Amino acid sequence: MAVITKITTQQKKQDRYNIFMDYGKGEEFAFSVDEDVLIKFQLKKGLELDEFSLMEIHYHDDIQKAYNSAISYLAKRIRSEKEIKDYLLKKEIEEPVIQEVIHKLTTQNYIDDKEYAFAYVRTQINTTDKGPDLVQMELKERGIDKALIELAMEEYSFEHQLEKASMLSKKFIQKNSKESMRVVKQKLENLLVRRGYPFEVINVTVREINLDKPVADELEAIRFQGEKAIRKFSNYTGFEYEQKMKQFLFRKGFSFEIIERFLTELKESE
């Protein structure tokens, strides 16, 4: 049997200890252990260790190292069980060790997927413009059980959804004032879908927000887009030029009436 001959504290990690042993050929460095493992196995100078004991010590030290790593990961923010598992797997920690760590963290209430789900939903409501569909998808990706997701999503009321969708829409409309009314509506609906809002919320939001621009605003928008068209088709003349302009502006979402007014404006300014 091997005998512990010396135990020293590591210089850089004061909670880890170097174990020196004599396997029959004199003292040599054997392994290092966490302080909790040192205490658990009552490691001390003169203690004899057989092969099975050494294997058990190494296994528990692996658990302790993985546990410490998980605690550091949790210190940054609350995590789901799946996030912790994925994090430890990336560090190439074996599955049995991970299971032990998860059990220990759960017992100590460091992991609580229900609490995580509710906290996540509230955070997304308060700090982002994400709709409920996107939030649900993200919770699913984080390994939260379907029943817990449904329970937590009750925090995201229909009124909340309408309020956030409306705020997002107003910012978008203001930013895209140089686009035609029809294009703004199409882009806005696509944006709300990408942000995870259900069609019921989108329909109500678009209906309640007045997208009907005054004629003066629509004319200002077509003048802005028209400048691009003028440069684009500067090599064309006559009927072909007019047709190219009309096609371009129609694809930009302007009505034939507004297009005709703009083209008349151009002719009068020549």
Residue 223: CATH number of its domain = 1.10.10
Pair 150, 164 in one domain: no
Flag whether 242 is in a domain: yes
Six token digits for residue 243: 């047709």
Task: Note the pLDDT of residue 257.
Answer: 81
Domain that includes residue 186, residue range:
158-208
Is 170 part of a structural domain of the chain?
yes
pLDDT higher than 70, residue 15: yes
pTM: 0.73
Is residue 67 situated within a structural domain? Answer: no
CATH number assigned to the domain comprising residue 188: 1.10.10.10
- Tell me whether residue 97 is in a domain: no
Residue 26 vs residues 22, 23, 75: alpha-carbon distances, Å: 5, 7, 43
Residue 104 lies in a domain: no
Instruction: Give a yes or no: residue 59 inside a domain.
Output: no
Number of domains in the chain: 4
Strand partners, 29: 20
pLDDT in tens, 20-36: 999 988 999 999 999 99
Single out the residue of 163, 109, 110 nearest to residue 132, CA to CA.
Answer: 163
pLDDT for res 134: 97
